[in-house]
Amino acid sequence: MAAELNRKIAGNLARVEARLAAACMRAGRQRSEVTLVAVSKTRSLPETIAACACGVRHLGENRVEELQVKVPALAQCWQGEPPIWHMIGHLQSRKVRDVVSLCQVLHSLDSLVLATKLEAQATQRDMILPVLLECNVSGEPNKYGFHAWEQPGWPALAEELLHLGECKHLQVRGLMTMAPIVDEPQAARPYFSRLRELRAFLQRQIPGVIGPDLSMGMTDDFEIAAEEGATLVRIGRAIFD
């Protein structure tokens, strides 16, 4: 069973890698510029172990409850290099302590209130927590994130985010977004392009606060995201199904 699972995931990973490399080549980028985060949410421990056995080094989870189960369980039975855990889902303030202790990267910092709580926990642990700012560039009301879909509002957002420079235990690595669900991957391109433009704007307006990373692109649109400058892609179904 384990061997069969390994073969399936290895084959899926090879196909994803080929597609990602081709997308990078089309954009004149190196494949090494993009980190593949395997989204292991809802996946079993054997599936997660198989992904690690096939070379996955970055794992993404949506829920703190799954992190609480999987992080210690994998640590007990996986003998290889420990994976880097990414929290990619919405984070409730009351679960900040758990996330800071369990994951190495947070993709979903979506308010200054949450930043203050994360800063307090990271300070208490004397650690630096890498984070990405979740930005809603589509205007969908059901999406979390800093409001960033209208360019005239970007200067006010920059002024707001300037306060992140006071958080000495948070490393703001860049921005994250989730594109709308679309019928054709190309339809997601404007949203990825907008996030890239937003990063450039913020870096000009508040130098030294926002890092270079762009976390964008999932199974249905990661190639478009890579072409538009993604440095992290979050892929689940294409790896595990």
DSSP 128-166: -EEEEEEEE-S--TT--SEE-SSGGGHHHHHHHHGGGGG
Tokens 């890698």, residue located: 17
What CATH number does the domain containing 134 carry? 3.20.20.10
Counting the structural domains of the chain, the total is: 1
| Distance from C-alpha of 1 to C-alpha of 56, rounded to nearest angstrom | 19
**Buried b / exposed e along 48-85 (16+ C-beta atoms within 10 A):** bbbbbbbebebbbbbbbebbbebbeebeeeeeeeebbb
- Continuous H helices in 27-63: 45-53
List the chain pLDDT tens, one digit each, 241 residues. Answer: 678 999 999 999 999 999 999 999 999 999 999 999 999 999 999 999 999 999 999 999 999 999 999 999 999 999 999 999 999 999 999 999 999 999 999 999 999 999 999 999 999 999 999 999 999 999 999 999 999 999 999 999 999 999 999 999 999 999 999 999 888 999 999 999 999 999 999 999 999 999 999 999 999 999 999 999 999 999 999 999 9
Task: Say if CB 56 and CB 31 are below 8 A apart.
Answer: no
Radius of gyration of the chain (CA): 18
Task: Say if CB 132 and CB 213 are below 8 A apart.
Answer: yes
pLDDT value, residue 1: 67
pLDDT value, residue 2: 78
| Distance from C-alpha of 191 to C-alpha of 209, rounded to nearest angstrom | 22
Q: In Å, what is the CA distance from 178 to each residue of 54, 143, 162, 230?
A: 27, 8, 23, 12
Sequential DSSP letters for 195-235: HHHHHHHHHHHSTTTS-SEEE---TTTHHHHHHTT-SEEEE
Tokens 């960033």, residue located: 148
Task: Say if CB 32 and CB 60 are below 8 A apart.
Answer: no
pLDDT value, residue 234: 98
Local structure of 55: helix, strand or coil: coil
Residue 204 identity: R
Per the structure, the complete domain to which residue 67 belongs is given by: 2-240
